[in-house]
Amino acid sequence: MAYYANTVLLDALTVLDDQANKDLRAPAYGVTRAFNDRKRNVIQNYDVFAKQNSDIDLQAQKVDYLRKHTVALGSSRAASLTGAYGDSTRDTLTWATYTREWTLSDDNMRDNTLGAKMLATAIKNARLDIGAGIESAGVTKLEAFRNTVDVSSAHSTWDSVGYVNKVANANEDRYFNIMETEMRMRDYNGALQIINYGSMNEVMNWQLAQSVGNSSNLQFQYGDKMFYTSNSITSGSDYVGVSYVVEEDSLALVDWIPAKNRESLVDHNDFSFTSIPDPFGIFGPMALAVQKSVASNAAAGGNTQDAIWKYELSIDVAFFIPTITTQKLVNKYGLTTA
């Protein structure tokens, strides 16, 4: 019930251990982690974002990079050179602010078996909601930057409607090898980041169990790959599961909080601005705003004179995938059910 009414102080109660409270279990956040893991390899001067003092300053920051420039070859050496200049690109990041509020009451906490845990649990609930929003936005970014034309798919079938390289179920044992082979055919020769829908873990666990002691050793296809799991990915009924694959150093995200939170501006009127470490250890510090008041709170289980704290946890996040002159960096694969 609201206002923590189900856990007011009574005689001889026991309390569920925090580790046993599976209602507060966190997802794997595979998409978010894939964007986060290589961000400093993708954006060289990454720390410049953290130094911006305002939203306006943040929005002004761009990402510059040089382009591939293809010119027709000549067949003889020229007496007068007329070579063209190269190309460059400047990308603007698209930012989103994620906020989550909650309220705590001094009287509620004093008259409750779980009073001491309310703040920590409220922070985790807020982080779970923010995490869900960011993970969903990451999937949207991957979808926007995936290939929509067939490139090189000698071992898969191209779905021109769903833009998926379909691997037949009969080739399940070689799913990740087929993916790697076709990425190499597109000239992606480095390590791969692979973000799987959760159902693909069964395929991975089976293949990893088939080693030198089995009739078929399937572990050969797991080198130079970083695997992630996300249940926020949509996998259609025609698929056992789907995967996004990119060469490493293709994905990045930037997270930011305002300067007053980084520097802790406290007791400004009834507000305090501070920050806390990300409870899930993915981002840098997260912004925390606290507003204090005194109010009648009898309707919410308190007294007519109650101390109230209102909180807001927040963070700004921008996802970044560079563009290329041909194709797109993200490829989507699916293992079909038939």
Tens of pLDDT, residue by residue over 250-295, are 999 999 999 999 999 999 999 999 999 999 999 999 999 999 999 9
Q: What is the pLDDT of residue 12?
A: 45
pLDDT in tens, 156-178: 999 999 999 999 999 998 999 99
Q: What is the pairing mode between strands 239-247 and 192-196?
A: antiparallel
301 within domain boundaries: yes
Determine the pLDDT at residue 3: 66
Question: What's the CA gap between 232 and 28, in Å, rounded?
Answer: 10
Strands (E), 265-330: 265-268, 271-276, 286-295, 306-320
The reply to whether 9 falls in a domain is no
- Residues contacting 144, CB < 8 A, separation 6+: none
Q: Can you give the pLDDT at residue 210?
A: 76
Residue 92: give the domain boundaries: 27-68+88-338
Which residues, 6 or more positions from 290, have their beta carbon under 8 angstroms from its beta carbon? Answer: 271, 272, 274, 309, 310, 311
- Per the structure, the count of domains in the chain is 1
Closest to 165 (Cα-Cα) out of 331, 330, 327: 331
What residues in the chain have per-residue pLDDT under 50?
12
Q: Is 74 inside a domain boundary?
A: no
In a domain, 4, yes or no: no
- Integer Rg of the chain from CA: 26
130 assigned to some structural domain: yes
Whether 75 is covered by a domain: the verdict is no
- pLDDT for 200 equals 92
Tally of CB atoms within 10 A around 109:
18
What is the maximum span of the chain, computed from C-alpha positions, in angstroms? Answer: 98
DSSP type of residue 85: P
In 3D space, the residue among 185, 337, 296 whose CA is nearest the CA of residue 247 turns out to be 185
C-alpha span between 176 and 165 (Å, rounded) = 12
List, in sequence order, every residue forming a beta bridge with 89; answer none if it has no partner: 65
Residue from 198, 161, 177 nearest 27 by CA: 198
- CA 194, CA 192: separation in Å to the nearest integer? 6
* pTM (whole model) above 0.85: yes
String of b and e for 80-94 (b: at least 16 CB within 10 Å)? Answer: eeeeeeeeeeeeebe
Domain assignment present for residue 47? The answer is yes
In-domain check, residue 274 = yes
Query: For residue 155, what pLDDT is reported?
Result: 94
